Amino acid sequence: MKIYNTFSKTKEEFIPLNPPNVTFYVCGPTVYDYFHIGNARSFVMADIARKYLEFNGFVVKFIMNITDIDDKIIKKSFEEKKSTREIADFFAAAFKEDLERLYVKPATLHPRATEHIDDIVRMINRLVDKGYAYEVDGTVFYDISKFKEYGKLSGKNLEELEAGSRIEINEKKRNPLDFVLWKKAKEGEPAWVSPWGKGRPGWHIECSAMSCKHLGETIDIHAGGNDLIFPHHENEIAQSEAANGKKFVRYWMHFGFLNFQNEKMSKSLGNFFTTREILSKYTTEAIRLFFSQTHYRGPLNFSEDLLSSAEKGAEKIRNFALRINEELSKDLQEGEYPDFSIKSFYDEFTNVMDDDLNTPQAVAVIFNFIREVNKVLDGGAKVNSKFLEDVKKFMTDTAQNVLGIVNFEKLEGNKKEALDDKLIELLIDIRQTLKKEKNYQLADLIRDRLNELGIVLQDKKEGTSYIRK
């Protein structure tokens, strides 16, 4: 398996530090609002990378942090007259709900910055003691001039950065590019006790401290959007390697932007749609198919037309899955196993996914598989249940458990719900007959029992309808 390493700018064979264990860190959200569909692309592609590693037998410890204290959270708390904790808790819960709806597997842990203040303070202390950081009037800065390899991830030249710096001049800094590790508290803002006085951590140090705490001083994979390469990930390297004296990350993965009308989708530009908005219009399978049809490193243009097209593709996959389930429900004892190599499709899938997670080609393998199986089923040959079970297993292993573009459990749930609807309608018809026969006692009993089950009947002139409580 090869992964494109942003650090070396080449595809490298993936060899974890302690196989079969893999340590995997992804930069999570700052929880002051619902995350947008551009963020969702990064979360989904990281999820696919993690699931493919697990498909290959690796044991992945997957950490995605939550930044729960930040200027934006503080601003939101003032606007809504709520505490920063209330704001962060609400949007952290919403974040996890939306990830679940996107079929993103729960992280091994979602560490929160405010729960790791002691770890953050200890790391800053080490940097101060080693001469990489300095304190001015209660604020601690990282001195980038002391880290001689600064810029090695992004490829940015320090002298050019300094010359072209547009960063607001801060007379307290030794260098305009020095960044905050610990921010002195302002009146009315949340603050924690530290050796430098009351304050709160800077954004970059949070990820360094939390990744080190939960994954160790050297981690296998660190992932995030392209916009995080500089300065966030560059600063993480400077902090972590200076504090620990070890290589911080072995493989850097970065996801391309989701663009809208040829501009990067972002909250600052106001050209975004929340994940919740998109999930209200399109299925999860369509969204994940839309993301998977473009390689994770490349830019992806967002449009309703492209999502509608992905919905049609997802429907084809869904119809195939329904067909397999239906065939499996039949008596197939007299069928036979056709001359069909499912293993060859597994080989194709792994070959393309091993090549830096080439999901567009993996999707093509899935559609080719569906086409070839349909040919067998349409040809009139009687197949046995073993063949159909193997077909379903391939789709489950690849399309469901890695790409997330079909969900057999959801299909079974939908089938059960459809059966429930038919049974409710049958009871409504029986109740109508009972009322015509003036058997009101039994008619009312049906209504009351359905109500206890959460089904509320609504009698109107045009007939009886129902809603679920």
Q: What are the tens digits of pLDDT across the range 91-106?
A: 999 999 999 999 999 9
236 is in an annotated binding site: yes
Residue 4 CB neighbour total at 10 angstroms? 19
Residue 287 lies in a domain: no
207 is in an annotated binding site: yes
Residue 303 lies in a domain: no
455-460 and 463-468 strand pairing: antiparallel
Q: Please indicate, yes or no, whether residues 378 and 421 belong to a single structural domain of this protein.
A: no
Q: Please indicate, yes or no, whether residues 442 and 393 belong to a single structural domain of this protein.
A: no
Residue 302 lies in a domain: no
Asked if residue 56 has pLDDT above 80, the reply is yes
Residue 453 has a pLDDT of 84
* 353 vs 260, residue with greater confidence: 353
Query: pLDDT tens digits, residue range 294-345?
Result: 999 999 999 989 999 999 999 999 999 999 999 998 877 678 999 999 999 9
Residue 396 lies in a domain: yes
Residue burial 71-110, b: 16+ Cβ < 10 Å; e: rest: eebbebbeeeeeebeebbeebbebbbebbeebbbeebbeb
Percent of the chain with pLDDT over 70: 94
Residue 334 has a pLDDT of 75
Q: Please indicate, yes or no, whether residues 96 and 230 belong to a single structural domain of this protein.
A: yes
Query: pLDDT tens digits, residue range 189-246?
Result: 999 999 999 999 999 999 999 999 999 999 999 999 999 999 999 999 999 999 999 9
Name the pLDDT band for 420 (thresholds 50, 70, 90).
low
Residue 468 has a pLDDT of 72
27 is in an annotated binding site: yes
Q: Please indicate, yes or no, whether residues 190 and 175 belong to a single structural domain of this protein.
A: yes
Q: Please indicate, yes or no, whether residues 28 and 157 belong to a single structural domain of this protein.
A: yes
User: Rounded to the nearest 10 degrees, what angle do helices 284-292 and 37-55 cross at?
Assistant: 80
Asked if residue 421 has pLDDT above 70, the reply is no
Q: Please indicate, yes or no, whether residues 395 and 418 belong to a single structural domain of this protein.
A: no
Instruction: Name the residue range of residue 422's domain.
Output: 410-468
Residue 266 has a pLDDT of 72
Answer with the one of 278, 298, 324 that is the final residue of a domain: 278
Residue 286 lies in a domain: no
Q: Please indicate, yes or no, whether residues 342 and 447 belong to a single structural domain of this protein.
A: no
Nearest to 353 by CA among 109, 55, 123, 82: 55
Q: Please indicate, yes or no, whether residues 194 and 50 belong to a single structural domain of this protein.
A: yes
Cα-based angle 234, 212, 157 (whole degrees, multiple of 5): 10
Phi, psi of 367 (to 5 degrees): -65, -35
Instruction: Decide: pTM greater than 0.85.
Output: yes
Rounded to the nearest integer, the mean pLDDT of the chain is 92
Would you say 54 and 60 are in contact if contact means Cβ atoms under 8 Å apart?
A: yes
Percent of the chain with pLDDT over 90: 78
CATH number where 355 lies: 1.20.120
Query: pLDDT tens digits, residue range 340-363?
Result: 999 999 999 999 999 999 999 999
**Range 264-290 average pLDDT:** 87
Domains identified in the chain, total number: 3
Residue 295 lies in a domain: no
Residue 300 lies in a domain: no
Task: Check residue 367 and give left, alpha or beta (phi > 0: left; psi -120 to 50: alpha).
Answer: alpha
Greatest CA separation found in the chain?
Answer: 92
Name the pLDDT band for 179 (thresholds 50, 70, 90).
very high
Residue 455 has a pLDDT of 86
Tell me which of 9-23, 182-196, 449-463 is least confident.
Answer: 449-463
Asked if residue 416 has pLDDT above 70, the reply is no
CATH number where 175 lies: 3.40.50.620
Would you say 324 and 388 are in contact if contact means Cβ atoms under 8 Å apart?
A: yes
Residue 350 lies in a domain: yes
Q: Please indicate, yes or no, whether residues 201 and 52 belong to a single structural domain of this protein.
A: yes
Q: Please indicate, yes or no, whether residues 456 and 357 belong to a single structural domain of this protein.
A: no
Q: Please indicate, yes or no, whether residues 237 and 351 belong to a single structural domain of this protein.
A: no
Q: Please indicate, yes or no, whether residues 424 and 354 belong to a single structural domain of this protein.
A: no
